[in-house]
Structure 1
Amino acid sequence: MIIRLVMLAELVAITAALAMPENLQSLGLASFILATAALVVAIFPSSASHGLAKLLRPGLVVVLAAPALWMALQVVPMPMDTLGNPIWATASAALNEPLTEIISVDIGATMLSLAQYCAVLAAALVTAVITLDRYRAAQVLHILLAITTVATAMWFGKEATVVAGPDGSTVAVLGVLLSCATAIRAVDQLRRHSRPGKIAPTPLPALSAAVIAIIVCMAALLIRTNSTAVVAALLGSGILVSVFAIRRWFMGLWGTAAVLATAAIFSIASLTVIPFRTNTDVTIALSTSSQIATERMLQDVRPAGSGAGASMVLLPLYRDIGIGAPRERPTAAAAMVIDMGWAFLCGLVVIAMLGACILIRRSLSRAYDYVYPALGAGASIAVPILAFADHGILGLGASLLVAALFGLAFGQSVSSAGREAKSLESEGASDWMAGPAPASRPRLAPAFITLWARAALAMLGTALIIQTIWMVLPGWYLGGQSSLSAVSAAAAWPNGISKPVSAAAAHEDLWIRGESRSRGDPALAADEQKTELPAASNAFARALRSSPLRGDIWLMLAAAPKQNSIQTAAMLKMSYYTAPNDLDLLPLRLSVALATDAVVRELEFRDLIKRDVSLVVTRRPAIRPALLAAYRSASAEGKIYLENLISELDPTYLDNMRARNSRQGSR
C-alpha cells in the first residue's frame, strides 16, 4: 500500500509540473511531493530497499552527486583572483562594502537550479524503488505513456500562433519511445502466451494504446517541430527495435554485431538529415531559432561557468537593444556550458553514451522484461540530441519525466533485483523465528546493506523539504504576491519598472517585500511612513548581495533620496551595464541621469545617455513622453545636454517638447 501511494504521489508531481507554468509554485509543489515520497521510502523499510542498495553502486552515487556538489560549490566563497566572477568586485565597489567573490552571478538562480536537480534526482530514485517489481514497472510504463500522450495532444492542439511550452517537443519524443517500448512488450506477451487457436487478450489493449500514442506523438513531431526532434525520436526507437530484433532473430555474437552495425549506419545516415548551422558554436548548431544573444554569451564562457541558472539571468545583457521581453532561449547544451562550464557538458555526454552501452548490455542479458533497459538506452541517445536543439529537457515537467523514465530503466536493468530482495527479507524472518543465529552468520548484514541507501534517500528528502520551505515561505508570508513593482509602490518608487526575468528574480522580490514589511513594528505604526524608504533601500541592497545583475534594483537605489552624487553615479552605471536594453527602466534612468550634474559631465555617461535618447527619438516614439518627464526634472546642465541631443536627431520634436513644457509650467 505504501509503495502504491508513493507511486501515485510521484505521478501527481510529474503531471502537475507538466500542466502548470514554470514558476516557484510548481517547483515548490513538485519538490514537496517528491520529498515526501523519498522520506516515506526511506523511513518505512520494504523489500525494495535491498534492490535499491544493489542499484546504487558507488560509481553511480558519485555520478549522481557530482552535479549537486558542483552547484553547491558555485555559491561558496572563492579565494581572490581565482574562479570567482569579477561582477562581485564591481558590485562591491558600487555598494562601497566588501562582497565575497563566488562563481555564480546569481545565488538565487543557482539555489533554485539545485532544488530542481534534487527534485529530478528524487524522482529517478523513487521510480527505481517502485519499479523493482515487474508488475509495478508495467503500471508505471503505461501511466507514463498516458501522461506523455495527453500532454503531447494538448501541446499539439494549441494554435500555431501560440508559443508552446518549452518542453513540448521533448515530451513528444519521450512519448514515441514509451509507445514503442509498450508495443514491443505487448508483442512479446502475445508471442509468449499464444496457444494454437487461442491468443491471450491481455496485451491487446496495451498494444492498441501504444499504436494510438505513437500516431499522436509522431504527428505532433512532424507538424510542430523540426527534423532534429524527429531524428532523435527515430534513433531512440531504433535502439529499441534493434534490441528486439537481436533477441528474436539474431542471437549470438555475429548476429548482435550485424544488427548493431546496421543501427550505427542508420544513425549516421539519419544525422545527415539534421540541418546543422555552420560557423557557429556546436552547442547551438542544431537549433533553428534565433540564438544571437546565446552566441555572444558563449564567447564569454568562463572555465567554471557562471552559476547554475545564470544563462537566463545573463540573457538580457546580451540581447539586442530595443527588444522587449526576451523570447530567445538558449539550447540546453548551451545553457549547461554557460552555467557549468564546458567540462560539465562533455562529462554528461560521455556518461550518457556509457549509460546507453550499459543498458543495452543489461537488456540483452535479461531473460524477461528487457524492454525497460532498452527504453533507457534509447532515451540516452535521444535526449542528448534534443539538448543541442532546444531548451526543452531543462523544463521542470520534461526533466521529471526524463528522470522517471531513467528510474524505470535502471530499476528493471538488474536481473531479479526484486526477487533477491524478497528472498533476503524472507531469510531474515526465518532466522528470527528459528531463534539466535550462530556466531558465524552475520544476521545484520541485510540491514547494513540497505541502511546507507535509505540514509541517502532520507538526506535527499530532507534537503528537498528545506529547499521547499525556502521557496514558498516568502509567498505564504506575503499572501502570494511576487511582483517587485508592489515593493516599489509601497516605497514610493515608480510603478512597473521591473520585470523579473527568471523565477530566481521573482523569489528575490518576495524576500525584498518580506524584509521591507518586517521593518514595521506595531508599536511604531506612526513612524512607518518615515521608515519605508530606508527599509526598502536596505532590502534592495540585500538583494544585490545575492544577485548583482539586477539592473532594476541598481536603478532604484540610484534614484533613492539622500544619495550623494558619487553613489548615484556608481549605482546608475551598474544599472546601465546590467540592464542596458530594458526599455522599462529607460524613463526613470534618463530622469536620474539628467538630474545629476556629476553624471552629465562624465563622458562615459554622455555616451550612454545619448544612446537612450537616440533609441527613444528614432525607434520608440511611443515612449517619447519619458523625454519630456526627464526634461522637466533635469538640472540646468542636463537640460542643455538633452536639448543638444534632440536637436541633432529631431529639431521639430525639440520645439514641441519646449512648448509642452512651457504650457505645463504655466498651469
Structure 2
Amino acid sequence: MATPDDGVYMMVRLVILAELVAIAAAFAMPESLQGWVLISLALATAALILAIFLSPSSLGLAKLIRPGLVVVLAAPALWMALQSVPMPISKLGNPIWVTASATLNERLADRITVDTMATMFSLVQYCAVLAAALITAVVALDRYRAAQLLHILLSTATIVTAMWFGREITGVAGPDGSTVAVLGVLLSCATAIRAVDQLLRRSRPGAIALAPLPALSAAIIAMIVCMAALLIRANSTAVVAVLLGSEILLSVFAVRRWFPGLWGRAGVLATATIVFIATATVLPFRTNTDLTIVLSTSSQAATERVLQDVAPAGSGAGASTLLLPIYQDAGAGDSPERPTAAATIAIDMGWAFLCALAIAALLCASFLVRRALSRAYDYVFPALGAGALIAATILAFSDHGVLSLGASLLLAALLGLAFGQSLSGAGRDAVSSEPKASSDQTADQTPAPRRTLTSASVAIWPRVSLMVLGIVLIVQAAWMALPERYFGARSSLPSVLSTAAVWPDATSKPVSLAAAREDLWIRGASKFTRDSALAANEQRTAPPMSSDEFARALRSSPLRGDIWLLLAATSKHSSPQSSTAAMLRMSYYTAPNDLDLLPLRVSIALAADATVREPDLRELIKRDVNLVVRHRPALKPALVTAYRSASADGKVYFEGLLSELDPTFLDQVYARSSGRRSR
C-alpha cells in the first residue's frame, strides 16, 4: 500500500530528473532554440512541483528562501528588464536608437540596451540559472538528497569534461570546457573528503549508511579525468583556480578533523591564507591592460576598445556579441574574439554591476566558509560552494566559460547544493522519505532547538517564490516556442537574397530573423547557411520578406549591419536614393569589418549615382574595395559583378579605385565585362 512518504519520494525524484534533463540539454544543445525551450520547461516543472507538493510548514525552506534573499536574487533580472524598457529621458538611452530613428524615419523609443532580443535571451538564461540554484537548494535541505545531488553533479561534470577532452584532442573543442573541468575537480575533491570522513566515522553511531569506498574510487577517477584535461590544455589560470578552490576544502577539512579549537582554527586559516596568496602570485597577470581581461591569454584588442566606450549603465545584457565585431579589425571574422566573463558583464551590465557581483561572490564565499566551520559533519557542502565561488571568480577574469549556458547551470546547481546544506538542522526540517540514522543534533556542532513559524506569510513566501519562478519559465518557453510553431515559415531570407544579389561563393549570407517576433532567432538557433539551389527552392515555396519586416527586426536590434544592408537592397527601387544611402551608411557603421557583406554592399553602393557622390560613402566604398583586393581575393569576382551593375558615376569611381589599388585586376574587370557583353 502506497504511503504519503512514497509520493513525496517520487516527487523529489521527478524534480531531480527534471533538473538533470535541463543541465544535459544545456550541454547537448547550447545553441538550439529547442534546447532553450526544453530547459525552461524542465526547470519550470521542477519549480512548480516543489511549490505545490512541498510542505509550506518546512522550517528549513522558510529559513532558506527569505524575502530579502529573493529581492537580491531578483535584482539582476529587474536590471535587465529596465535596460529593455523605454527610457523617460532620451539621454539615458543608447545613441544608436536616435540614429536608427532618423534612418528609418520613425520614432523609436530610447533604451539602454542596443538589442532588446539579446537582453531578453540573457534574461531567459538568468531565470533558468536562478531556478536551477533554488531547486537544488530546496532538494538539498535533506542530507541524503544532498549526497545524491553531489554524486549526480560529479558524474555530469566528469562526463562533460571527458567529452570536451576528446574534442580537444581532435582540435574541435571550445574554451568553455575548462570551467566544467574545474568544477569537476572541486566536486571530486569534495566527494573524496566526504568519503574519507565517512571512513573515519564508521565506528561512530549515527553515521549515514553510505558506502564510502565506491564513492572514493569514483572521486579519484573523476579527479584524474578532469585534471588531465586541464593539464593537457595547459591552462595555467584554471589550474591555479582549482588549487585555490581545493585549498578551501582541505583547510576546512583540517579544521573540522584535527584543529577544532580557536587557536587551531586560527593557525590553519593563517597557513591557508599564506598559501593562498603564494599560489595567487603564480597567475599569469597581464600588464597595461583592463582589469577585466588581466588573466586572459588570448588577444583582447577589440574588447579593450569596447570597454573604453562602455556606458556606466552598460550596453544591455547580451550586447557584447554585437559590439565586438564592430570594434574588431578587418578580417577577424574567421576567428572571432571571445571576451572574458568579467569583461562581458562590464560591457553588458555596467562597471557598478560587475563590482557588486564580485563583492557579493566574496561575501557569499566568506559566509559559506563560516557555515562550514560551524558544522560537524556536513561541512563539505558549504566548503565546496566557497571553493567554487573563488574558482569561478578567478576564471571570470580569464575566459568566457562561466557565462556559457551549461557551465552556468552546473555552477548554479553546485551553489544551490552548498547553500541548501549550509543551514543547521536543514535535513530535519525538510520533507524527506529517506531513512535517517539520526538527526542533525548528532552531526552539527551545536544542536538546533526546534522552532515553529509564527507568521503564515513567512511560511508561504518560499512556495509563492517558486511558483512565480515556474510561471515565468513557462511564459519564457512559450515566448520562444510559439513563433517557431506558427510563424517560422516567414523567417526565410534566401528568397530576399536571391532577388537582391547572389553571394560570390554561391552561398547565402547566414542571416536569420523572425518577423513575427522582431528578430527572435537572431539570438537563437536559426542561424544557417544555405546553398543557391536551396535558396531557389525556398523562393518558390516561401513568400519574399518585405522591407517592413526587415524594419521590424531593426526596431529591436539596430546594430544588425546585415539587416540594414538587406533593407537597403529591398528598398533601393521603392525608396528615394537618399534613404537607401542612409541605410547603406548604417550597414557600414554597424558592420564595418564583416567581409561577407562586402559583395552586396559594394554592388548597392555603386548602383546609385547619389551614393557615389557623397564623400563619406566614397571613403567607405574605397575601404571595402581595398579589403577585397588585399584580404579577400576570393571575392574579386563579386567586384566584377558589382561593376557590371554600377551606374555611370559608379563605374568611373570604381575604375579610379582599381587603377590605384590593383591595375592588373582592373584589366581583368574590363576583359570579363567586355566578354560578357560580346556574348
The correspondence for 1:99, drawn from 108, 111, 128, is: 108
The correspondence for 1:358, drawn from 359, 367, 370, is: 367
Cα offsets for 1:448-488 (capped at 9, x unmatched) = 33311111111111111111111122222356x79754453
Cα distance in 2 between the residues matched to 1:548 and 1:272:
44
Cα offsets for 1:384-421 (capped at 9, x unmatched) = 00000000010110000000000000000001123135
- 1:221 is aligned to 2:230: yes
The correspondence for 1:596, drawn from 603, 608, 630, is: 608
Shift of 1:19: 2.4
Which runs of 5 or more residues in structure 1 are unaligned? 424-441, 514-527
The correspondence for 1:622, drawn from 634, 638, 661, is: 634
Cα distance in 2 between the residues matched to 1:489 and 1:596:
19
Q: Partner letter of residue 648 of structure 1?
A: E
In the other structure, the counterpart of 1:507 is 520
Change (3 A) 1:162 1:565: same
Cα distance in 1 between the residues matched to 2:646 and 2:84:
41
In the other structure, the counterpart of 1:536 is 546
Cα distance in 2 between the residues matched to 1:388 and 1:260:
25
Shift of 1:200: 8.6
- 1:640 is aligned to 2:626: no
Change (3 A) 1:416 1:201: closer
Change (3 A) 1:17 1:482: farther
Alignment of 1:188-267 (within 5 A): 188-194=197-203, 202-267=211-276
The correspondence for 1:577, drawn from 589, 612, 617, is: 589
2:492 touches 2:512 (CA, 8 Å); kept in 1?
Answer: no
In the other structure, the counterpart of 2:437 is none
In the other structure, the counterpart of 1:554 is 564
- TM-score computed with the length of structure 2 as normaliser: 0.88
Cα offsets for 1:94-115 (capped at 9, x unmatched) = 0000011000000000000000
Cα offsets for 1:166-203 (capped at 9, x unmatched) = 4200000001110011011111111111389xx99821
Shift of 1:323: 2.6
In the other structure, the counterpart of 2:482 is 473
1:238 touches 1:263 (CA, 8 Å); kept in 2?
Answer: yes
The correspondence for 2:555, drawn from 534, 545, 548, is: 545
- 1:291 is aligned to 2:300: yes
Cα offsets for 1:307-327 (capped at 9, x unmatched) = 000111111111111233443
In the other structure, the counterpart of 1:171 is 180
Shift of 1:328: 1.5
Cα distance in 1 between the residues matched to 2:422 and 2:490:
44
1:167 touches 1:393 (CA, 8 Å); kept in 2?
Answer: yes
Cα distance in 2 between the residues matched to 1:319 and 1:117:
28
Cα distance in 1 between the residues matched to 2:272 and 2:133:
28
Stretch of structure 1 that moved more, 285-294 or 493-502: 493-502
Cα distance in 2 between the residues matched to 1:142 and 1:658:
70
Q: Give me the identity figure in percent.
A: 68
In the other structure, the counterpart of 1:402 is 411
Alignment of 1:31-430 (within 5 A): 31-46=40-55, 49-160=58-169, 162-194=171-203, 202-421=211-430
Cα distance in 2 between the residues matched to 1:195 and 1:448:
41
Change (3 A) 1:663 1:500: closer
Cα distance in 2 between the residues matched to 1:372 and 1:470:
36
2:314 touches 2:350 (CA, 8 Å); kept in 1?
Answer: yes
Cα distance in 2 between the residues matched to 1:200 and 1:165:
41
Change (3 A) 1:28 1:371: same
Shift of 1:489: 4.8
In the other structure, the counterpart of 1:661 is 673
1:27 touches 1:396 (CA, 8 Å); kept in 2?
Answer: no
Cα distance in 1 between the residues matched to 2:513 and 2:338:
12
Shift of 1:86: 0.3
Cα distance in 2 between the residues matched to 1:511 and 1:116:
12
Shift of 1:293: 1.1
Shift of 1:446: 6.7
SS of aligned partner of 2:546: helix
Shift of 1:212: 0.8
In the other structure, the counterpart of 1:488 is 496
Cα distance in 2 between the residues matched to 1:594 and 1:49:
72
SS of aligned partner of 1:82: helix
1:484 touches 1:509 (CA, 8 Å); kept in 2?
Answer: no
Cα distance in 2 between the residues matched to 1:337 and 1:387:
11
Change (3 A) 1:185 1:549: same
Cα distance in 2 between the residues matched to 1:512 and 1:271:
39
Shift of 1:649: 1.2
Change (3 A) 1:375 1:512: closer
Cα offsets for 1:408-442 (capped at 9, x unmatched) = 0000000112313569xxxxxxxxxxxxxxxxxx9
Shift of 1:16: 1.9
Change (3 A) 1:212 1:344: same
Shift of 1:165: 3.2
Cα offsets for 1:576-627 (capped at 9, x unmatched) = 0001111121111111101111110111011101111111122221110111
1:38 touches 1:458 (CA, 8 Å); kept in 2?
Answer: yes
Cα offsets for 1:28-50 (capped at 9, x unmatched) = 21111101111111122336854
Change (3 A) 1:259 1:506: farther
Q: Partner letter of residue 601 of structure 1?
A: R
2:33 touches 2:525 (CA, 8 Å); kept in 1?
Answer: no
Which runs of 5 or more residues in structure 2 are unaligned? 1-9, 433-450, 527-538
Cα distance in 1 between the residues matched to 2:139 and 2:351:
35
1:483 touches 1:506 (CA, 8 Å); kept in 2?
Answer: no
Cα offsets for 1:143-179 (capped at 9, x unmatched) = 1111111111111122445242342000000011100
SS of aligned partner of 1:415: coil
Cα offsets for 1:537-563 (capped at 9, x unmatched) = 111000000000111111111112211
Cα distance in 2 between the residues matched to 1:195 and 1:559:
78
1:616 touches 1:623 (CA, 8 Å); kept in 2?
Answer: yes
Q: Partner letter of residue 507 of structure 1?
A: L
Shift of 1:509: 5.2
Shift of 1:17: 1.1
2:66 touches 2:461 (CA, 8 Å); kept in 1?
Answer: no
Q: Partner letter of residue 345 of structure 1?
A: L
Change (3 A) 1:48 1:281: farther
1:240 touches 1:378 (CA, 8 Å); kept in 2?
Answer: yes
SS of aligned partner of 1:402: helix
2:87 touches 2:111 (CA, 8 Å); kept in 1?
Answer: yes
Cα distance in 2 between the residues matched to 1:663 and 1:273:
66
SS of aligned partner of 1:158: helix
Q: Count residues with an aligned counterpart.
A: 631
2:57 touches 2:459 (CA, 8 Å); kept in 1?
Answer: no
Q: Partner letter of residue 43 of structure 2?
A: L
Change (3 A) 1:256 1:370: same
Q: Partner letter of residue 343 of structure 1?
A: A
